[in-house]
Amino acid sequence: MGQLSNSYYRLLILPFTLIVAIKKFKESDEDEIAKKTIMREVKMLRLLKYKNIVLLKEAFKRKGRLYLVFEYVERNLLEVLEDNAVGIDPKRLRLFIYQIIKGVTFCHKNYVVHRDIKPENLLINPKDNSLKICDFGFSRPLPQTF
């Protein structure tokens, strides 16, 4: 298992050769605000199943810590931007924008507002330039009459 950031890990599961990302949270039973944010993220991701939204595969608790298991997506848009100091090819950029609009539209049709769209929360698969929105911790449900 390789650590991707402070709370994300990449895990290779054999014999299936399945690579997943694991988001590990500190003990949340004592911090009500953190617990509420985590549970909101889980609730929203279970509701939102779409090709441009990261897939939550599993959520479990072990030894007082909560773990979220996601599909693994290799990069985020910030990393792509940093690697392309002169800018992203216009055709590729249009594809990214199109996918962001599709993902956000799906959220809004399901009465969810993300509230934290930024390059770090836009995952990119460099093999096919597919984009997925992640990190729904700040998201909120919209009233059904919206």
Task: Point out the residues that are catalytic.
Answer: 116
Residue 48 CB neighbour total at 10 angstroms: 22
3-state helix, strand, coil in the chain (%, to 5): 30, 30, 40
Task: Please tell me the distance from the alpha carbon of residue 10 to that of residue 87, in angstroms, as a whole number.
Answer: 28
Let me know if 131 is exposed, middle or buried by CB neighbors in 10 A (0-12, 13-18, 19+).
Answer: buried
* 90 residue type, one letter: P
Sign of the dihedral through C-alpha 27, 28, 34, 38:
positive
